[in-house]
Amino acid sequence: MGVPSVPLLTKFKSAKKLGIPAHEFEILVKSGTITPRVHDKFGERFGADDLERVYQAGVRRVLKEAVERYRVMLQEQKKRMMVLLSSVYSHQKIISVN
């Protein structure tokens, strides 16, 4: 495996580079705005060029969009869970009647 062409930063160094707290950076990751380049013994590491792209686009604006995307993802996940739970519940009722 070759040497990466861009420097790789840990989650905390990445958040510091963007000037935001680590929990806000975590939202960028969970929403898919920034994806880790490498998973290794140090955890997830991110490309400096990806961080630069976010910085140039405006960190607060990108973060606001990421929060909205993450909220939608959670709502969809909740809907899927409710459908799954209702199907399990109805299946249990059928079994208990028989």
Q: Looking at the domain assignment, is residue 1 inside a domain? A: no
Q: Looking at the domain assignment, is residue 92 inside a domain? A: yes
Low-confidence ranges of the chain (pLDDT < 50): 1-3
* DSSP-derived secondary structure for 4-34: PSS-EEEHHHHHHHHTS-HHHHHHHHHTTSS
pLDDT value, residue 76: 96
Q: Looking at the domain assignment, is residue 59 inside a domain? A: yes
pLDDT value, residue 44: 86
pTM attached to this predicted model = 0.69
Which residue range forms the structural domain that includes residue 77?
8-97
pLDDT value, residue 8: 85
pLDDT value, residue 51: 92
Domain count, the chain: 1
Q: Looking at the domain assignment, is residue 45 inside a domain? A: yes
